């Protein structure tokens, strides 16, 4: 197997390969772009016209997606997986991956769409670098652009595998892309309704890619991800890379759709989230429930029907989102 196919090993050892470009016996070109970044090009004349960005490790302790990308790369480097798509593999936060921690100084996934320019430190520089990797990769006009940013969650979830679909004014969410996610084992999708500062929001809003944040179970250390079954997603990614995907069904009957009702923002150190520390994502909340309170008599009371909570985290920095209230969506605004 080609040495560049061992991107995780290179990343974990903080090693820069001497040979930056390698070609498999099948004519697949691997090119090391920088720490945690590897571009794969199909054999000459076999390019299907898809640019596929696969990122993982934006949070360093979310290892199941990192292991998934490593398996795909091993397949490419060993010649058992022959790409017809251009693929960019990105391990988002190498320093945090090496530490086995969510981040080193601050959450990278709150530093995109220009937010890094308002900050400083290692993660801010890395967010700018990741944006540039994506910008260059998606620079060729007339090609399909698809980005999956793969994560696992801090906590358990009543819906284990779900996606967040970014928002851009004047652009409809794609029924075809949702059907593709359903075929990959994604059980629910949150249709966002405002601009965001995550990596997938950057590629969706600024680079016109179809882009998703995929949440794939609970965060666990390397080698302990057996409870997370990513077989369907892995098979779908292989089909995308090899361009062997059959026509995706248009039915979304088994896919649960949600939309954001409200975001709960932490304004100060006085913020209190009135939820059990082990509450799972997508847990239902009754109407009238006092969800949180903060300074100046700021209160969040649940008044929506069928409301559920995702990403509750009272430990975020002041000014950031400490949870999202979501409600079911009928999917009437799909393209």
pLDDT at 2: 87
Burial of 285 per CB tally in 10 Å (0-12, 13-18, 19+): middle
The arithmetic mean of pLDDT across residues 85-97, rounded, is 98
* Domain ranges (residues) in the chain: 3-242, 261-328
pLDDT digits (tens, 9 = 90+) for 287-299: 999 999 998 778 9
Closest CA to 189 of 202, 176, 199: 176
| Annotated active-site residue in 70, 215, 245, 247 | 215
Of the options 1.10.3720.10, 3.30.470.10, 3.40.605.10, 2.40.50.630, the CATH number for the domain spanning 261-328: 2.40.50.630
CATH architecture group of domain 3-242: 3-Layer(aba) Sandwich (3.40)
pLDDT at 330: 83
The alpha carbon of residue 290 and the mean position of all alpha carbons in its chain are separated, in whole angstroms, by 31
Residue 147 marked in a binding site: no
Residue-averaged pLDDT of the chain = 94
pLDDT at 250: 64
pLDDT at 316 exceeding the cut of 70: yes
pLDDT digits (tens, 9 = 90+) for 92-107: 999 999 999 999 999 9
pLDDT at 204 exceeding the cut of 80: yes
Residue 267 marked in a binding site: no
To the query of whether residue 169 is one of the catalytic residues in this protein, the response is no
pLDDT at 248: 57
Closest CA to 292 of 316, 314, 259: 314
The arithmetic mean of pLDDT across residues 267-295, rounded, is 95
Residue 211: how many other CB atoms lie within 10 Å: 27
How far is 173 from 211, CA to CA, in rounded Å?
Answer: 10
pLDDT at 120: 92
Residue 151 marked in a binding site: yes
Alpha helices (H) in the chain, listed in sequence order: 7-12, 63-78, 94-99, 122-137, 175-183, 199-207, 231-242
pLDDT at 150: 98
pLDDT digits (tens, 9 = 90+) for 244-253: 988 655 678 8
């Amino acid at each position: 197997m080609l040495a560049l196919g061992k991107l995780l090993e290179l990343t974990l050892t903080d090693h820069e390969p001497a040979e930056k470009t390698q070609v498999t016996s099948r004519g697949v070109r691997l090119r090391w772009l920088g720490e945690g970044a590897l571009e794969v090009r199909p054999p000459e004349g076999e390019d299907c016209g898809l640019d596929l960005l696969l990122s993982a490790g934006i949070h360093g302790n979310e290892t199941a997606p990192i292991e998934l990308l490593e398996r795909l790369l091993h397949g490419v480097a060993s010649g058992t997986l022959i790409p017809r798509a251009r693929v960019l593999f990105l391990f988002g936060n190498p320093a945090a991956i090496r530490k086995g921690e969510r981040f080193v100084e601050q959450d990278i996934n709150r530093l995109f769409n220009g937010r890094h320019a308002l900050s400083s430190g290692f993660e801010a520089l890395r967010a700018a670098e990741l944006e540039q990797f994506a910008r260059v990769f998606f620079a060729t006009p007339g090609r399909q652009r698809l980005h999956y940013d793969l994560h696992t969650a801090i906590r358990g979830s009543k819906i284990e595998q779900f996606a967040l679909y970014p928002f851009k004014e004047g652009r409809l969410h794609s029924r075809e892309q949702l059907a593709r996610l359903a075929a990959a084992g994604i059980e629910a999708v949150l249709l966002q309704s405002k601009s965001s500062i995550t990596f997938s929001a950057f590629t969706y809003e600024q680079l016109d890619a179809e882009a998703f944040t995929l949440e794939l179970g609970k965060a666990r250390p390397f080698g302990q991800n057996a409870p997370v079954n990513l077989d369907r997603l892995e098979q779908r990614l292989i089909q995308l890379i090899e361009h062997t995907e059959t026509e995706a069904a248009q039915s979304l009957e088994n896919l649960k759709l949600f939309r954001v009702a409200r975001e709960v923002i932490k304004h100060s150190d006085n913020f209190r989230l009135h939820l059990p520390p082990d509450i799972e994502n997508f847990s239902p909340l009754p109407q009238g429930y006092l969800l949180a309170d903060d300074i100046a008599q700021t209160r969040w009371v649940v008044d929506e029907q069928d409301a559920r909570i995702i990403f509750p985290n009272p430990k975020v920095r002041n000014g950031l989102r400490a949870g999202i209230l979501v409600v079911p969506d009928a999917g009437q605004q799909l393209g």
